Chains A and B, each alone.
Chain A
Amino acid sequence: MKTGDNLYKLIKFELMFLKKYLFLFMFLLIILVLFNLIIIKNIELNNNLDIVKIMYGNVNKGLFYVYWIYIILLYLIILTVVWRPVYNNYDMNVILRFIKIKKYWNNKFIIHFIITILFVVLLILVTVLISFLQYGILPINNKTLFLITVILILNFILHGEIWLFIKNVFDYKIATFIIFGFYYLGTRLPNIKSLLHFGLYKQLLNDGYNDLEIVIIILIKILFIFLLKFIISVYQNKQDIYIKLL
């Protein structure tokens, strides 16, 4: 079986699995839209303000704090679905037909990355569209919007991998707790210079970035993403596939 074919079939399986939760996802999306409506209604916009920068750069202020908790919850739900344990006969028969377990895990990672990209693009799109409907202005210049989207995607993927690593080694409850711990620390220590925290792209949010700095930040994040993926893959390949045991 070719790698591309393999990936396509696994994506198809994930989509078939997700059909069951379609109404739940629609409901979560509606709440996301409502959140955006409430926040955007409460922001005094003038032409110099930039709605995406405000929404995704003010984690530690009032309503934004709650909004970000909601976003993190959404992403954790996505991670839980993508990395769900194999526990019924059908799932087992799917895996057994993929023959090579390394390829299976690689494809799972690709699905994780694709879903994260779609998730962040959806977040940004909802915000952009609602602010446009509300104020009739397209809120941001393209380059900054693109960079914010890219860095958010990389941050989410990094957090997702950390969650997965902790889940594999310990437990998903501990992993979830630690991810929220990171968030809490991030809001309490806004100037922290960590790869995970978007303090590193504060300059970007303040329009004070230079291209080289941003490129270096992005490259370092990508490097860490692949490093973590490698570590997790090595661990996964040594473990039982059937995780939910006894």
Chain B
Amino acid sequence: MDKILIKDLNKVIKNNKILNNINLQLDKNKTYGFVGKNGAGKTVLFKILCGLLKPTSGRIVIFGEELHKDISFPKSISVILEKPGFLDHYTGFDNLWYLASIKKKINKEDVKNALKKVGLDPHDKKKVKAYSLGMKQRLALAQSIMEKPDLILLDEPMNGLDKDAREMAYNLINEEKERGATILMTSHYQEDIESLCDKTYLLEYGKLVNNFQ
């Protein structure tokens, strides 16, 4: 099945209802935007979709497989959530190569290509601890596309990026969509959402408001 289904999803954390009865159907090969104030539940929704948080109630089916029943995590997923933390004492390439070596879906050349795509030098010997926030964000973007995942979750992917880098990120996201990926993203910038997303949802106090204008 080529859809992501979210049915009657609720999440309660420490007696706070973070997500309130979310129902959603997302098609493959589309980019979806999620907007809302801080604390509206966007990041928690993304963490639930990738399997790191469990729903208090409700079901999530990702491309035909139910999360926490058939699978622990979506089989082909990459995420940018929270701060772009890395192994600080290693180069950007080393960081990505370790991740790539877990599934062995891609080789070193693919990792280098992903780095080049985001404007980072794959042969750079600089450790990640010496990277600026913008460089770390580029590295996170490279990590999110390198294995050509079916589902990409991007929580504030433009954070720390300058104008040129944002343009690069726009191209990257559009390329991934053309490739066939389903992309869910949040951004505080209205223009990011308008330019990149096929459909946008507003989250208010954990409730979903369809077709945000």
Contacts and interface: CB of A to CB of B under 8 A. Distances in A.
A96 B88 contact: no
Interface of A: 1, 9, 12-13, 16-17, 19-20, 86-102, 238-242, 245-246
B50 A96 contact: yes
Contacts of B140: 89
A94 B143 CA distance: 11
B82 A88 contact: yes
B85 A91 contact: yes
Contacts of A86: 52
7 contacts: A13-B98, A16-B87, A87-B85, A89-B140, A92-B52, A96-B52, A240-B52
Contact of B84 (A89, A100, A101, A102): A89
B87 A97 contact: no
B82 A89 contact: yes
Interface of B: 13-14, 16, 47, 50-54, 71-75, 77-90, 95, 98-99, 101-103, 140, 143
B101 A99 contact: no
B101 to A, nearest CB: 7
Given A88-B86, A93-B99, A96-B79, 12 more contacts: A1-B102, A16-B87, A88-B84, A94-B102, A96-B52, A96-B74, A241-B52, A242-B53, A245-B13, A245-B14, A246-B13, A246-B14
B81 A89 contact: yes
Which of A239, A242, A246 counts the most chain B CB atoms within 10 A?
Answer: A242
B52 A97 contact: no
Contacts of B72: 99-102
Contact of B85 (A12, A88, A96, A99): A88
Contacts of A102: 72
A92 B95 contact: no
Contact of A96 (B77, B84, B90, B98): B77
Nearest to B55: A240
Q: Top 5 nearest A-B pairs by Cβ distance?
A: A88-B85, A101-B72, A97-B102, A242-B52, A240-B53
Contacts of B16: 246
A97 B74 CA distance: 9
A11 B194 CA distance: 43
A171 to B, nearest CB: 13
Contacts of B78: 93, 96
Contact of A94 (B82, B83, B99): B99
A90 B86 CA distance: 5
A97 B47 contact: no
B66 to A, nearest CB: 14
Which of A86, A102, A240 counts the most chain B CB atoms within 10 A?
Answer: A240
A89 B80 contact: yes
Contacts of B89: 16, 19-20
Given A20-B88, A246-B14, A87 B73 contact: no
A102 to B, nearest CB: 8
Nearest to B136: A89
B82 A87 contact: yes
B90 A92 contact: no
Contacts of A98: 102
A9 B47 CA distance: 23
B63 to A, nearest CB: 15
B53 A90 contact: no
B68 to A, nearest CB: 9
Contacts of B81: 89, 92
Nearest to A241: B52
Which of A9, A93, A98 counts the most chain B CB atoms within 10 A?
Answer: A93
Contacts of B98: 12-13, 16
